Structure formats: C-alpha cells, structure tokens
Chain A
C-alpha cells in the first residue's frame, strides 16, 4: 500500500490498522479519503480478526459516505472482502492489465462452477468498466492513474460542508458557442454526439467523464463552468437513441446523488425518446431501476439546470430533471420536442385505423413536437438560441450559488434499491 498526502487535507490509508483512525479523522475535519487498493483479501491465518478488520473499514466507509468524498484506485489484484471497500466508496478507478476485482478468483470459479475464465475476463479493468459497471474508469498504468486521480480530485469539494470548488478560469463565461446552433440534425431520427454539446459548453472543453464505457446511452461526468465544478448528465442520442434503460438509470442516479451530497450543481442535457421497452428490461425491473433516477433528481437540492436539446418524451421527460422535480432553470432549444411521445407513435394510437396518418402526423408535429406547449405552461423557462447556452448557464449558476433548499426531516429516504 502506498501513502500519499496532498496539502495536508487529504488522507490516504496507510494500512488496515491505521485506516480506521485516519478515516475517523478525515470525517472529523472534512477531508476526502483516497484508497490505493492492492489486496488479496483477508489473511486466512488471522481468522476472524481479519474479518473484523474489514468490517471496521466497511463501517467507516459507510459512515463517511456523503460526508467526505471517497475514491478507490485499484492498483493490483483485489479479491474477497477487499473488494467491498471500493464498492462502498464514491468512485472506483482501475489500472488496465494489472488490476483485478473479484469476489473469488478464477481457480475457485473453476472448482465451483467449472467455468474457465482468466483473471482479466473475470475482473479486469475492461470487464468492470464496460460490463459490470463496478469501476468508473480505467487508466493505462499506475503513473497515469495517479496523475489522473490528482486531476479528478481537483473537481471535488473537500467535504459535504464545503462548496463546490472554484478554480481560476480563463475561458470567458459569456463565450458564444456557434457550433451548438448546428449540432442537432434536422431529421429527428438522426443521431448526434452529446459530447459535442457538453465539450462546447464547459470551460476549456474539459470534461472528466465517469463510466465512459458503461451504459453509454447516458453521459455523466464533471466539468467546470466559469471555474466552478458542475456535474453533467446528458442523454447520448448516438447510443440506443439516448433512451433510458436499467443500466443508464442506475448510472445516472448514483452520479446525481453524489453531486447532491457534495453541493455540486447538476446540469442536465435532455434528448430522450423514453424508457427502453421490451421483456428483458421489464423482467430486469426497469420500473424499479428507472425510479432510482427519478428519485435522485427529485430529491436533489443543489442547483439544477436543464437544457432540452431535442426529444423529451413521456415519463423520461419527467425524470430528466424536469421543472416538476424542482428544476431551477429549464431551457429548451428551438429543436426541442416536449410531448408524451413521438409523432408517429402518437398518431398510430390516436388515429388507429384511419388512413390519412401522414396528415395527422404533420398536425401532431405542429401542435406538440415543439417547445411551445411546455413554454406557455411555464414548464420551460425560456426557449434559447443554442449558441448562448454557456452564457446562460454561467449566469444562472452565479444566481443559484446561494440556493438553499431542504427536504423534510427524515432518518433517510427509502430509494428503490
């Protein structure tokens, strides 16, 4: 295990014995905890004592959760009990080709289930960043990982009592972004890259994406607006039309809750055709998982700014940080369509069996597939020229910096896990 300390306000576990103490102190002073993990699990010879040691750490991880940011960097093979501490922390990063996370290694897997699997396939960086969603990102080697960790760390506040950090910013807050005026294609079925919008809007095009290879139909990550850290959530029309499914809902929900816990404003870019239909999703519990994202957005009391770039259909519209879920500022681009569903589907239902469906579709588009019905009802604060998006978000964030909002007292809410 390595220990690094950065400007005295960060503490990193030195070893199991000291870990508890350090975490207690970190919580007391409000300092983030960074774990560099490389552990084969409990030392069998120590018996129950080592298990107790683990549990001590787990407990602290849980108590510190939401108090100070906790980051795990997996730098070697971690097995058994050792994998649960990273799982309890806010972010887990891995090193490609040299780090693994699994409950039991390939040998045990072979003897129990007779499966032949390599360490890499079972719990390598690729598996956990693209398939299981256990890890949030992977880096090339130890040095790259540590350097990226430092960069990432700069986005985070020190604790839940501190505001989101503000760094010196050289990118003008009133910069117009002409590229945004043309980014959304004319045909509503054509895809575009939400990252083009995000990078255009944020400071210096710098976007630290979380889970870039998992549930790619939603994009989440950190960036800065006029120097201030913000959390960004966006549907990705390039992947599965940007629809919400089980994995993307869970990915989004966890990210939104982190931002809310640590006073990081949330900016949401919406282009969502709805929840993904089908048996695999329904059997998997899309209702309960989709509700997590809804829960997270509704519960969040940090500044919430939403920009509808194109589709905002059905229940997914409500979920994506809508005005109805206490969104502070909700904008729509002229290309926005806020409606219960797309024109084709709607006409097929409303005018079932009728022949002049093309005509009805045109009428539907005229009536519903535009931002006006939402705007006249106040569900959208303004219809804006896309190139002014950055300017407006920066201005709104300044106003919202002093936002105070509290939820009713409760022991804790009961998010549909």
Chain B
C-alpha cells in the first residue's frame, strides 16, 4: 500500500532526464546511475541492521536495506505493533509502551533488541536517538556499528557554542558579533562598524523582543544603544548590551554533505527550507532559487571544510542563514539523515541511506565532487495531521479511515509509514508523509505538486493540505521571494484557506449542484424491480439553490449525458465527468480544463463538503422549494461558548489550575493540555466563577471535550 518509490523515482528521474534538451546531461545521469543506484551485492556491508526508529523514516531505511540484501529489524512500542514499519521488517522487537521515553528512547530495551536479534549495525533515522552520543557510545562498546558519524562529531556539533567555535576555526562564516559587553555609545559604534551593518543591539538579559533594536548606520546605533539600555534597565534591571550582525530577510538554506572514514567529503548541493512555522519546516525544495553557482560552491566548500575539521563521516547537513545580499552564516550542523533528504536524492540521483550504510562499513566514497549534478528540481511538502487554521498547524489525531497516496502520478514520490486504517496518536510526531515531486524545471515540479496534492486522499484526520496547496500556488513563493517569516508575512491574520475568485466560486457551485443531481438521479434507479416504472425520459432541467460561505446562489442546471451546463452568478459553467459517487476523487472537466476535486461528505439533506484547490468548502444544495421553506424553519440557538472551555485539540491534561468555586480573571490560565510535545495553556474567556471541572491532570481528552464550565 504505502509506497517508497526509490527505484521507480530514480527511474523516472532518468526518464524525465531524456526530455532535457541537451544530450550530455542525460549521459551524465545514465553514467552515474551505473554505480550509485545499482545496489552492488558483491560489496559486503552488513547482514542485519536494526532501525531504531518508527514511521516513514524506518520504512525509508528498510527499503534501501532490502535492495542492498540486508535483513532488517524493527523496534516498536506496543501501540505500534501493527505499524507499517513493523510489517515491513524481517524481524520486530517490542521495546516498551507508547510514550517515547519508555520505548523509542529506551536505550536498555533497544540494546537488548540488538542482542536478541544479532543486528550488526543500527540506523537511528532522525530524531529519537539519532544525535545521542551516549547511545553511539553504548553501541561502540558492544561492537555494533552506528550508521552515522563518530561520537566526537556528534558531541562537537551538538553543542551550540562549541560548534560555532569549531566552525569559526574551520573558516566557516559565522554570524559576526561582539562576545563581550558593550561599554558605551562610542564603543557600540566602533563594534558595529567592525561587524558591518545592519546590526542588532540586544539586552544581555533580554528576551521577548524587549530591549532589542536594529541599526543600519552609526546614528541609529547611537539611538538604539540609548533606547535599548534604558529599556533593558527598566525591564530587566540590567542595562548591559550585546551587538551582533542582524541577518535581514533571512533564508534557511542547508548543504547536504557526505563524508567517509577516509577523509573524503562531498557536498551534495543545497536545500531551501525557508518555509517554516514555529521553526518547523513545511515546504522544502532543491535547489534553491536564490543561490548562484558561486555562492553555492562557496557554501558547499565551507560545509565540507567543517565536516573535515570534525572528521565527520556519514551523511550530515550544515545549516546556514542567508541574508538578502547572499551573505551566509553558519547556524548548526545536523549529524543525521535529515527529514528532507529525498529532494537531494531526486536532484543528485544518490541514495543517501545506501551511502550512509556503505560509509558506516568503511567503504570509501565512489563519487567525486564533479560527479554531483543538479538534475531538475524537487519539492517536498510535509503532509501533517494537523489543523492549519489554528496557528498554521495544531496537531490532530484520528484513524485514517481512507487513505490513498498519489503515487500513480508520474514523478511523485511519497515517503510514509502509515496506511489506511493507521492511527495517528498523541504519542508521536503527527507527520503523515513527505510528498515529493520532481520535474525538469521548478515550474514543472510545482505543477506536479499541485496535481499530487489534489489527488491525495486523507480521511479521518484533519490535515494541512489546504495550507500546502496555498503555499505552492502563492505568487510570492512561485517567484522565489521567500524568507523564514514567509507564513506570518503572507497570512498575518492566520491561515484562512483558499480565497475563492468569482470564477472559482462559480466552478465550485456548479460542481456541487451537478454532484447533487447525479446522486439524485442515481437514487431513482432501482435494479430489477418490476413494480417501479423506469422512465426512459429522465428529468434534464433543474432549478436549485446552493449555499456557500453563508450566501445563497441561484443555480440552473441542464444535463446532457454526463455533462452539465450550469448557470450561476451570471456566468455559465460546463462541468462533465464520470460522477462516480463511490470514488474519493472526483476527476472533472470544468469548462474544458481538467480539475480534480474530492467529495468529503454528502448527505440526504444536500450538505456537501468538497475539497477544491486544496481547501475544504461546505455547501448546501436544495431545491428552490426546499430553500424557500427553509426560511420558515425556527432558528437554532447556538451554545453559549464563553462559559464553557472545550479542548481545542486531542491531548493529555498536564495541569488543572482551578477548582469549582474559584474566581478566574479574563485571560487567566485554567488548564494546560499537552499534545505532541507541545504544551498549550487554555485561558478563561471572561472573568467568572468556576462552576464545574470535568478533567483531571493526567487524563486524556479528545478535541471538543468539555473541560471546565464557568458560571
């Protein structure tokens, strides 16, 4: 079911490379493919590898292991016993109960699993124990190979200050700043001049933006110093100030490196990861629209210098901040396989997991720097089980009642570790999959991404496809003008879904009406019942009313065969399709253009939920008569929500700060809910007396569960 199309993707890469106009590039691809993608069985690596991870990355690693003829061992928590990575592995060992610190982070249990199964090496994936030097040490003590860098590299890069010093020593650009305390105004101007404008002046004791000033010249520095020290003194009682380089309009661009144990190191180009929310990446691409070959080479070479300086081996990532003038500064180095590694694989044709395993066994790299190409463009969207309308994504949980990956489309790769029927639980990361599309050009890859998102069927949990689809069709994103603040800049009021154009609205209304009629017609067709007369002349004209976003629209339809001509909002829309009401996807032709919509729900009362351009729209289709009579229906009084507090998400109650009878002020914390490692404090909407408390600390609550009632 779930697909990890490494070989097919690479084959597709080769296929699409054929369309690239110049022949030489194709030869490079074909030539490289001979030794990088073919899994050489005579090159003896390991017999058995244990994958100390779960979900998509465990599956991803196993996929390569299989191709390399390596047996795989999965570890899992008890709730994951049925998970895809467990089924995929040759052997599986349960390492504890659901909470990660008792299972996937439980080193004792994982060491036991290694001993039981006789695994010779461990691939840690990302997260969990991947950057845990203690774990690497314990493996080394038992002569088990850690598929990753040596302990000292993990240690050196794991420490923010030490890694910065090492980077500085390796002649890697770091954010310039004055490490000491600034004495006075003239001192500040002098230091700012040395660092180069713009600079940031901030309070030594600061935080939360207080006592922070950006200065672009000497005058602003003087002004900023004065104001910041006053503010710092009044806010923190400490007027000491620091100065460092201010990175304007920063982008997050990282370089993939690959180094072996023989002192060879390569850089595999960059990944643009600027689209983030709460410091978590959402959409990544390779290459970056922003880098020119010189900057790319400079960044790559510095990344390699750093890798060599710490005697790095295995795959690693050097993260940089890049400002609007293409100055780049070292941020940190991740000593593991990154989540977004597939896009690098797409454009370079390498299998990074295979390379990691080869390197761990001690084989030297077979590629040279000049072998590493940039072929085409790859984009990755992280599909999460979360509600994008709540601060760009709050976790949601549930059971995937229906799930179809768009892998039948060409040049689409989906890395996932779930399948239809899987549970997205509160215990683990809510990522559903990584959706990667590939094209000869960026425009082609983006177009594929649109198609893939439209064809992706996820039911049972709330997901972020609406947000992903809006990002990849955002004009600013398409132009490549992005920074790490892209989301808050583009959606200052929060994400609200796709905004319909008048034409889009007509398409949507027409589709809903046509779908409604198709369902009506079908419900009248009884098979083999002689008592119900089958009329050969079915009705072909309808007058309906469709409600969308609280507005009613009069719609007239006429049908010929499976195509409908719909008059709506003063325009005419031609909609045709198969109208397969059992299918999750609704492939249509709207005014001659192919469009894929999804029908998420449809009921007898004309309520239809359609996914159109990624966003879900609720519509209601009624006959004109029913619509007219609806006006006479008594209005329902909605529940008064200011006096009740419901859980905005599923999770566990960490603390309840009130008890019945307490007085609470507006904005006072009532309780704290933890979901997916995030603590959310829930506050009172108004000042009131607490009437009743319906939750206890430690309890698990679902979305919409009543927590506290106020009087």
Contact = CB atoms under 8 A, between A and B. Distances in A.
B78 A186 contact: yes
Contacts of B633: 141-143
Nearest to A179: B421
Contacts of B626: 143, 147
Interface stretch (A60-68, A199-207, A292-300): A199-207
B523 interface: yes
Contacts of A168: 522, 525, 527
A200 B459 CA distance: 12
A178 B605 contact: no
Contacts of A179: 399-403, 419-421
A151 interface: yes
Nearest to A149: B604
Interface stretch (B555-563, B577-585, B678-686): B577-585
Given A166-B529, A204-B582, A147 B605 contact: yes
Contact of A178 (B1, B78, B603): B1
Contact of B531 (A162, A170, A177, A204): A162
A297 B453 CA distance: 48
Interface residues of B, number: 39
Contacts of A171: 582
Nearest to B629: A143
Nearest to B1: A178
Residue of B522, B603, B605 contacting most chain A CB atoms (<10 Å):
B605
A141 B399 CA distance: 31
Interface string B595-631: 0000000011110000000000000001000100110
Nearest to A186: B81
Nearest to A165: B526
B636 interface: yes
A169 interface: yes
A318 interface: no
Report the interface size class on chain A: 35 or more
Contact of A182 (B421, B527, B531, B605): B421
Given A9-B531, A178-B420, A144 B605 contact: yes
A19 interface: no
B532 interface: yes
A98 B582 CA distance: 35
A411 interface: no
B421 A140 contact: no
A183 B400 CA distance: 10
A167 B522 contact: yes
A171 B402 CA distance: 14
Interface string A374-410: 0000000000000000000000000000000000000
A142 to B, nearest CB: 7
A227 B522 CA distance: 11
Contacts of A352: none
B527 A98 contact: no
B604 A151 contact: yes
A148 interface: yes
B586 to A, nearest CB: 12
Interface of A: 7, 9, 30, 97-98, 140-144, 147-148, 150-152, 154, 158, 162-163, 165-172, 177-183, 186-187, 193, 196, 199-200, 203-205, 227
18 contacts: A9-B531, A140-B605, A141-B630, A147-B626, A151-B603, A158-B531, A162-B531, A170-B581, A170-B583, A179-B399, A181-B421, A182-B82, A182-B421, A182-B422, A186-B81, A196-B401, A204-B581, A204-B582
Given A162-B531, A179-B402, A182-B423, 11 more contacts: A151-B523, A152-B604, A165-B526, A179-B399, A179-B401, A179-B419, A181-B421, A182-B82, A193-B399, A199-B401, A200-B401
Please name the 10 residue pairs, one residue from A and one from B, whose CB atoms are nearest each other, closest first: A179-B421, A151-B604, A171-B582, A170-B582, A182-B421, A141-B633, A179-B420, A166-B527, A147-B605, A182-B82
